[in-house]
Homo-oligomer: A and B are copies of this chain.
Amino acid sequence: MSLLSQIKFNDTGLVPAIAQDAETGRVLMMAWMNAEAVEQTLATGFAHYYSRSRQKQWKKGESSGHIQKVMGMYLDCDGDTILIKIEQTGPACHTNRESCFYRQQQGAEWIIIEEPIR
């Protein structure tokens, strides 16, 4: 696929993918995709990533139900980072928060600025 040929995967065959809430604009998470995950994302319309710890491709929300419907996919100037705008079902973060970026720098500390959804 010509789409894949313009993506510069790193030396482990991965590219970082930023997931942004299409409606609110909030950055929800960053994960990695291999070529197969990009293809599956395009084929199904739902975000797929590659888990470096589990060493396998996975559909986001396959066990939690917290799926991500892709509204748009973008490639950066260097071709080595993907941005997807998504419609998120449930919290994006495995800690049950809306976003994985729930810690903010304040002075020399990271402060938790968002509690998990109950």
Alpha-carbon distance A24/B24, docked complex (angstroms):
10
CB pair A2–B78 under 8 Å, yes or no, is no
Could you list some 28 contacts between A and B, CB below 8 A? Answer: A1-B108, A2-B109, A3-B109, A3-B110, A6-B110, A16-B16, A18-B18, A18-B30, A24-B25, A25-B26, A27-B27, A27-B83, A72-B104, A72-B105, A73-B104, A73-B105, A74-B101, A74-B102, A75-B101, A75-B103, A75-B105, A76-B103, A77-B97, A77-B100, A77-B102, A78-B100, A81-B100, A83-B101
Copies of this protein in the complex: 2
CB distance from A96 to the nearest CB of B (A): 10
Who on chain B is nearest to A113 by CB?
B74
